Structures are given as structure tokens and as C-alpha cells.
Amino acid sequence: MSRPLPVNKNEYIDVVFEDLTHDGAGVAKVDGYPLFVPNGLPGEKAKVKVIKTGKGYGIGRLIELYEKSPYRVEIASSERHKFGGCQLEHISYEGQLTYKENQVRQVLTRIGKLEDVVVHPILGMNNPWHYRNKAQVPVGEKDGKLIAGFFKPRSHEIVDTNESLIQLPEVNEAIQTVKSICSELSIPAYHEETHKGVLRHIMARYGQQTGELMVVIITRTADLPQKNRLVEEIIARLPKVKSIVHNVNSKRTNVIMGEKTSVLWGSEVIYDYIGDVKFAISALSFYQVNPVQTKVLYDKALEYAGLSGEESVIDAYCGIGTISLFLAQKARKVFGVEVVPEAIEDAKRNAELNGISNAEFAAGEAEVVIPKWYKEGNTAEVLVVDPPRKGCDEALLQTIIEMKPKKVVYVSCNPATLARDLRILEDGGYKTVEVQPVDMFPMTTHCEAVAWLEWVCSPKIIFSEPK
């Protein structure tokens, strides 16, 4: 028999919020049982109504706030806040930074058991609005009208929106203009339930330093009705456009981009700069969405790498070579590894574009390629990792421990997996010197951090000798 839950559905209770979930909901604990309540902020006292109870957690609705957080700010649109990727809009920017910095400290202690690690104050933005250089919005139809905006969380209902507070104005304008043109030309929207119709997504990406705009039209069918008119109108109404791309995604899937990509007009890529390094960005490449803070992050990574010009460096999870090319300016040699072959092609092209000849790139899984290099006798003095949210693969961490690069610079978009991986590296002989959180995604719960580790001693784990 399982124990009865400490709360019942429809019950009204008083709580104090302790934390935030990934979606920015307040977390309160009732006898250890977590209750997630949208719009609750840490430190606030409130009356809530329990509206759902599950085995591991419950959901509540905020009824009355007894004590407000000093960081709470009034917001204009609760829809946008709830669904538009601005989960922290109701917290002042100062409050957001405090929350993220504390989160890094807490997980490093709780998950990483790193009691005395130096965590610097988070580096935030001077202007935390309109920073995203890319948007991809789903298209649908409502009452016979073309709509585009964002999905409600955990649903496939599209909310029609005209503006985002976190996208660059050029990106907002591009999306709105293309949406209007598609509507005027009566290009049929895609219907998810029936898997019929044409237009699935509109994507726009803007090179903030170069002023170059790319528009990508994603359709279910290879045929794009009114293709020529569409292109003409986009060119006429969006003077910054340099590239118009058509991507076909015929599958029933949540993945946005599909199997076939062709250039409808202009260049296959747009360009942008991070610092002095120029990047060619194609429709499918990963490129950091906040270029201003990317520079801040990479400068920190470069500082932590402490390069003198003599080192050989491995950049694992290198994407289109952004960090690698940054590092190559100060290293003897850089080797980048990335699982997406197209990104590696971009990385090579980017090296050439910048006249950088001391960077090499390999396509493959970091946890396969780097152990292979190591077995072949190729090591590095500095190793940089920038993994996706799930963190580094255990096999890669083990290879790092065996290879013993003098320094490891860990760029992370998820403090929890960063903390987990730092623990493993510490047990393997590394010491975390310091950690710098960087706010790459204001108004959202996402938090980036870069950690600097030095190899200090033999691993704590002693493997028993074979008998």
C-alpha cells in the first residue's frame, strides 16, 4: 500500500515557494511532496488550490499572494509569458540573474558535492530584451485564417502572435512579413492532425553584425505553391534578406527541418561575426542564438584555456567550429569533433573563410573519436567540451581522466549535468578552479556556465590489480 498523499485534489492550502521548475512554475513542498504552481516565485507565501495530484508531484493554481517577492514585476501579457518562451518575464532581470546564479551554486554543492568551488557573479546583459537572432514558428489555420506563433506547452495548439520580446526586431519583422505574404498568397497551412496541407514552419535568422537575413520556408510537400510570387514579395518587403531557402519535411514528426533543402533565391548561407571570427551559417547549422553573450562566454572559455600558442587543443561538441576557431587564434593546433557531418563541413569552410590553417575537424561522436585519437597516441594539453543538455558521455569523461589534459574547460547549458560531470572529473584527479555563469537566455529558465578545471593528482578511484 502506498502512503496517502499529503494533499488532496481541490483542497486549498497555504504554501511558501522554494524554487522554480524548468517551465518557470513555483515549487512548494508539502511534507516533502512537491507542488508545482504557475506564477509562484521563490520566497513568496500564497494560498493555492490543488488541481491535480500525481504520484511524484502535484499541480496547483495560485489563488492569493500573501507575501510578494521583491523581484516580482507586472507583465503585459500572461499568454505570452506562459507560452511564448518568456517563462521568467514576471521576475525583474536582477531577480532572474540572482535566481540563475544561486541555481548554479546549489547544484554544484548538491549534485557535484563541490563545497568550496568559486562561483563568480553571473554575467548578464545590459539590455536583456530582443536578443535572439533566430526564430522558427509553427504555422496553422484558425477560422480559415493563417496563424503562426508558438505551441502551448504540452499541446499542439498554436497561439497566434505578432511579437516576441526576446527576438531581435529584424527577426520579428521577418516572421510577420513572411506570414502576411503567405496569407495573402493563400498558401495552405499544414494540419498536424490530418498530416495534410503545405506550410509547416517559417524560420528567420539574422546576422546581427552583418545585417544579413535568411528566411527558410518549411513545407510538407515538395511543391511550394506560388513559389515565385512568394520569393518576389519577400525580396521586395525585406530588404535585408540575402538568402531564401526551402526545406521539405514530409514526415509526421515534431522535428522542424526535413530531408530536402534547396535555395530558392540568393546565397546558401548568411554570414555573421563573433569577435573577429566570421561564420557562414546555413539553414541547418547550429549557431548560438544570443551573439552578444556568446562573445562573453567564448572570451571566458578562452581566458580559462590560458593558451600561450604552444598548446594542442581538442574542442569536443564543436558545432560549426565557433569555439575552435576562437581558440585557434591562440593555440598551436585545434582539433574539433562534432556528430553532425554538415556542421563539420561548415566548420571547415569557416576555418578557410578566416584563413585559419591550424584547425582540423572530424565528424563523429566525441565519446568515440576522442578515445580513438588517444589510443593512436594523439593527446592535447587543453580540452574544451560544450555538450548538449544531457552533458558528456561517461566514455568521454573516462578518456579525459586517462588522457589527463592539463586543463579542461567545460561550457555547459545545463548546470545539473555540469555538476554531475565535474564530480566525475574531480574523482578522476581534476580540481574545479572556478565557475562562471553567463546569462545567454534572459527571460527564460535556461542557464549557461563555464567551468575551469586543472589536473592536480592521480585519480581517487584506485582500480584493483588483476590477479
Query: What is the distance, to the nearest Å, from the Cα of residue 280 to the centroid of all Cα atoms in its chain?
Result: 20
User: Which is closer to ligand SAH, CB of 252 or CB of 390?
Assistant: 390
Q: How far apart are CA 169 and CA 186, in angstroms?
A: 26
Nearest-CB residue for ligand SAH: 319
User: Which is closer to ligand SAH, CB of 302 or CB of 323?
Assistant: 323
- Write out the three cell numbers for 336: 574539433
Q: Quick count: other Cβ atoms within 10 Å of Cβ 375? A: 10
338 is in an annotated binding site: yes
User: Which is closer to ligand SAH, CB of 19 or CB of 448?
Assistant: 448
Q: How near is the Cβ of 324 to ligand SAH at its closest, in Å?
A: 8
Triad 82, 52, 5: Cα angle to 5°: 135
Whether 321 contacts 300, CB under 8 Å: no
Q: How near is the Cβ of 133 to ligand SAH at its closest, in Å?
A: 13
290 touches ligand SAH (CB under 6 A): no
Side chain identity at residue 384, one-letter code: V
User: Which is closer to ligand SAH, CB of 366 or CB of 443?
Assistant: 366
Contacts of residue 172, Cβ cutoff 8 Å, sequence gap at least 6 = 130, 135, 162, 163, 164
Q: How near is the Cβ of 66 to ligand SAH at its closest, in Å?
A: 42
User: Which is closer to ligand SAH, CB of 322 or CB of 432?
Assistant: 322
User: Which is closer to ligand SAH, CB of 89 or CB of 386?
Assistant: 386
Q: How far apart are CA 124 and CA 443, in angstroms?
A: 11
User: Which is closer to ligand SAH, CB of 205 or CB of 246?
Assistant: 205
Backbone angles phi, psi at 67, to 5 degrees: -135, 125
Contacts of residue 372, Cβ cutoff 8 Å, sequence gap at least 6 = none
317 is in an annotated binding site: yes
Binds ligand SAH (CB under 6 A): choice among 48, 108, 323, 425: 323
Cα–Cα distance list, 5 to 29, 51, 58, 141 (Å): 12, 14, 10, 42
Build a one-symbol-per-residue string for 337-376: x at contacts with ligand SAH by CB under 6 A, - elsewhere. xxxx--x---------------------xxx---------
435 touches ligand SAH (CB under 6 A): no
Q: How near is the Cβ of 121 to ligand SAH at its closest, in Å?
A: 23
Backbone angles phi, psi at 175, to 5 degrees: -65, -45
Binds ligand SAH (CB under 6 A): choice among 24, 124, 138, 319: 319
Q: Which of residues 394-413 bind ligand SAH (CB under 6 A)?
A: none
Q: Which residue has the cell 565557475?
A: 435
Q: How near is the Cβ of 317 to ligand SAH at its closest, in Å?
A: 3
Q: How near is the Cβ of 242 to ligand SAH at its closest, in Å?
A: 21
24 touches ligand SAH (CB under 6 A): no
- Write out the three cell numbers for 7: 494533499
Contacts of residue 412, Cβ cutoff 8 Å, sequence gap at least 6 = 386, 387, 391, 418, 421, 448, 449, 450, 451
Q: How far apart are CA 96 and CA 72, in angstroms?
A: 10
388 touches ligand SAH (CB under 6 A): yes
Cα–Cα distance list, 31 to 4, 15, 275 (Å): 12, 11, 51
Q: How near is the Cβ of 83 to ligand SAH at its closest, in Å?
A: 25
Tell me the β-bridge partners of 151. Answer: 158
Q: Which residue has the cell 593558451?
A: 307
Which listed range, 189-197, 218-226, 382-390, 432-440, lies at the site for ligand SAH (CB under 6 A)? 382-390
288 is in an annotated binding site: yes
Total binding residues toward ligand SAH, as defined by CB under 6 A? 19
- Which run of H or E residues covers position 33? strand 33-37
Q: Quick count: other Cβ atoms within 10 Å of Cβ 43? A: 16
106 is in an annotated binding site: no
User: Which is closer to ligand SAH, CB of 114 or CB of 296?
Assistant: 296
Q: How far apart are CA 215 and CA 98, in angstroms?
A: 36
Binds ligand SAH (CB under 6 A): choice among 39, 69, 322, 432: 322
286 touches ligand SAH (CB under 6 A): yes
Backbone angles phi, psi at 63, to 5 degrees: -105, -45
Which listed range, 135-143, 386-394, 401-409, 425-433, lies at the site for ligand SAH (CB under 6 A)? 386-394
Q: Which residues are catalytic?
A: 413
Helix (H, G, I), strand (E, B) or coil at 319: coil
Q: How near is the Cβ of 338 to ligand SAH at its closest, in Å?
A: 5
Say how many residues make up the chain: 467
Binding-site residues, in ranges, read 288, 317, 338, 386
Using CB under 6 A, list all residues that contact ligand SAH: 286, 288, 317-319, 322-323, 337-340, 343, 365-367, 386-388, 393
Binding-site residues for S-adenosyl-L-methionine, in ranges, read 288, 317, 338, 386
